[in-house]
């Protein structure tokens, strides 16, 4: 259904486009919105499409209209139709479908954005462990210093081992 369409969105380029919203609206209503007709149901579907494009894309009106073979003035009229008729609960059925499509698009965008930033994910996940390791390293250095003050004979060996662990190529991140 239209949930699968929104999944393709972020994978293809990372931003929502009018073509993807068009596919989502068409699959929700199981009808094409770019056909040349003035039937009320198709007109209302186009109005929903215009509203979703206005909310989720940064495309200009002529680009939104071009996807469904209309000009910018028709897009403006469709947005007014949405605000005056669909949004005012004259057509509750269409408004509920609009809210459903909007909810699914928002969910898919937020989920895809979260999963497409692996650096941030791993940075947050291992940040605490890195801080703990740094504190452990500093504590170990302090312990070796204290042992050295007490004239412990193996301090140099412990310090060399700690430096070898810290400078080992396997553990150093790039």
Place 118 in a pLDDT band, splitting at 50, 70 and 90.
Answer: low
What is the per-residue pLDDT for 157? 86
Q: What is the mean pLDDT of residues 96-115?
A: 80
Domain boundaries, the chain: 2-115, 118-166
Q: What is the pLDDT of residues 5-29, one digit of tens each?
A: 444 444 444 578 888 899 989 999 9
* Residue 91 vs residue 2, higher pLDDT: 91
What is the per-residue pLDDT for 79? 93
Q: Are 33 and 97 in contact (CB under 8 A)?
A: no
Q: What is the pLDDT of residues 52-80, one digit of tens each?
A: 999 988 899 999 999 999 999 999 999 99
As given in the structure block, the two tokens for residue 78 are 């469709």
Residues 6+ apart with CB under 8 A from 104: 2, 3, 6, 24
Measured CA to CA, the distance from residue 146 to residue 63 in angstroms comes to 71
Residue 135 CB neighbour total at 10 angstroms: 10
In this predicted structure, the answer to whether residue 4 has a pLDDT above a threshold of 50 is: no
- Name the DSSP letter for residue 140: H
Range 2-115: architecture per CATH? Orthogonal Bundle (1.10)
* Residue 75 vs residue 151, higher pLDDT: 75
Average pLDDT score over the chain: 81
* Residue 110 vs residue 171, higher pLDDT: 110
């Amino acid at each position: 259904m239209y949930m699968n369409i929104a999944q393709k969105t972020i994978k293809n380029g990372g931003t929502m486009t009018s073509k993807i919203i068009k596919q989502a609206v068409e699959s929700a209503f199981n009808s094409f919105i770019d056909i040349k007709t003035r039937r009320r149901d198709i007109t209302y579907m186009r109005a929903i499409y215009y509203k979703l494009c206005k909310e989720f894309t940064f495309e200009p009106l002529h680009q939104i209209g071009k996807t469904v073979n209309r000009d910018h003035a028709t897009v403006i009229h469709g947005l007014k139709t949405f605000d005056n008729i669909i949004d005012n609960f004259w057509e509750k059925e269409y408004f509920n479908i609009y809210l459903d499509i909007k909810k699914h698009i928002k969910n898919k965008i937020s989920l895809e954005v979260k999963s497409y930033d692996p650096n941030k994910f791993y940075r947050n996940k291992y940040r605490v462990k890195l801080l703990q390791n740094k504190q452990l390293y500093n504590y170990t250095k302090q312990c070796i210093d204290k042992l050295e003050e007490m004239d412990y004979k193996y301090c140099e060996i412990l310090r060399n081992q700690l430096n070898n662990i810290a400078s080992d190529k396997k553990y150093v991140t790039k």
